[in-house]
Amino acid sequence: MSVDVSEGRSFQIDPAAPEPRSIVLPARGVLLRRLVADPTALAGLVIVTLAVLVALLAPWIAPHDPARQNVMNRYAPPSAEHWLGTDNLGRDEFSRMVLGARTSVLTTLAIGAGVLTIGIVVGTLSGYVGGILDGLIMRIVDLLLAFPPLLLALVVTGVLGPGLLNLAIAMIGVYWLSYARLVRGLVLAMRERDFVEGARALGLSGRRIATRHILPNVVGPILAVATLRTGQLLLILAALSFLGLGVRPPTPEWGAMLSEGQRYLASAPQLMIYPGIAIAVVALGFNLLGDGLRDVLDPTLR
């Protein structure tokens, strides 16, 4: 039988090219729904949300003044009055934990926002403008990345003097580097896409192309990495506070509480255990959420 398949099809030169994977951020509702569907991500989301809520509402949650001492009631066991007992100075441990969350979590988020902003701005400039500027920025980043970041943060805080603000500045100054790298790479890849070329052919300005056509298409992966990194920032902040570079007493902060409690480890281990657990759990929450976000934003990893 003669079949006339040759009439049209055999002259098709180029079959439609497969659409390359887009890394665009899905609509907000969709993102949340997919996160909730993933049990690990949901756990992360719950932990992080709780931590942030406690941090924000701390003054209203804490039943006692975290700084009020009571030498008559030191190392008290948990009771209806003091849910987690009292510390070495008779201060309410629960209130200190809650207000510690405010310092630890909110400072971490502020540092995270800082490194993210600097990283995005510098990375986009480097990746989009390219040329000499890119070379210069990346060599500076390379140079700074040659030092262990924790050590660098330690030195910078040492120079600025201890204190929460200086510690935050030092950490932002050190930890934006890898973000800039990441953003630059994503921007470089996006810059070569056809629609960016198209935007250029329409006479759009470079700034507009960078902010409207490139950045929105790379926020997804950046967001996922940023969440993962926030967990690390929390740990680093706690570590540097532990070393005495952060808050001044009597302000409660988990890392500092850990450090204070260390002296009474033998007699009152709970003074180290509570802040230790809090730090670990919240850091875990950020990690789970970050992993979940990455999976949700990149369906091929499922």
Minimum gap (Å) between residue 211 Cβ and other proteins: 12
Size of residue set near other proteins by CB under 8 A = 35
> Which listed residue (31, 46, 110, 204) binds other proteins by CB under 8 A?
204
Of 3 and 146, the one with the shorter C-beta distance to other proteins is 3
How is residue 20 annotated by DSSP? P
Q: How far is 245 from 115, CA to CA, in rounded Å?
A: 19
The owner of tokens 């009292």 is 86
Residue 7 CA, distance from chain mean position:
59
Three-state DSSP class for 99?
helix
Q: Is 34 in the site for other proteins (CB under 8 A)?
A: no
Minimum CB distance to other proteins, residue 223 (Å) = 13
The burial of 3, by beta-carbon neighbours within 10 Å (0-12 exposed, 13-18 middle, 19 or more buried), is given as exposed
By the 8 A CB rule, do 125 and 186 touch? no
Candidate list 31, 36, 74, 200; residue touching other proteins; CB under 8 A: 200
Is there binding between residue 300 and other proteins (CB under 8 A)? no
**Is 33 near other proteins (CB under 8 A)?**
no
65: helix, strand or coil: coil
Q: Which of 146, 194, 300, 302 binds other proteins (CB under 8 A)?
A: 194
Residues 6+ apart with CB under 8 A from 127: 134, 183, 184, 185, 186, 187, 188, 191
Site for other proteins in 5-24 (CB under 8 A): 6-17, 19-20, 22, 24
Binding range to other proteins, per CB under 8 A, among 4-12, 63-71, 91-99, 166-174: 4-12
Q: How far is the CB of 141 from other proteins (least distance, A)?
A: 21
The answer to whether 255 and 245 are in contact (CB under 8 A) is no
Distance CA 105, CA 56 (A): 9
Under the criterion CB under 8 A, does residue 147 sit at the interface with other proteins?
no
Least Å from the CB of residue 26 to other proteins: 10
> What letter does residue 92 receive in the DSSP assignment?
B
159 interacts with other proteins by CB under 8 A: no
Give yes or no for a contact between 126 and 184, defined as CB atoms under 8 angstroms apart: yes
The length of the chain in residues reads: 302
Query: Nearest CA to 93 among 73, 53, 66?
Result: 66
Pick the binder of other proteins from 193, 223, 232, 298 (CB under 8 A): 193
Q: Which is nearer to other proteins, 11 or 60 (CB)?
A: 11
**The one among 33, 68, 139, 208 contacting other proteins by CB under 8 A:** 208
Q: Choose, by CB under 8 A, the member of 33, 68, 139, 212 that binds other proteins.
A: 212
Q: Kindly tell me which residue out of 59, 63, 198, 249 binds other proteins, with binding defined by CB under 8 A.
A: 198
Torsion 66-232-176-109 (CA) sign: negative
In eight-state DSSP terms, residue 1 is: -
Among 86, 124, 157, 217, binds other proteins (CB under 8 A): 217
Which residues contact other proteins (rule: CB under 8 A)?
A: 2, 6-17, 19-20, 22, 24-25, 193-195, 197-205, 208, 212-213, 216-217
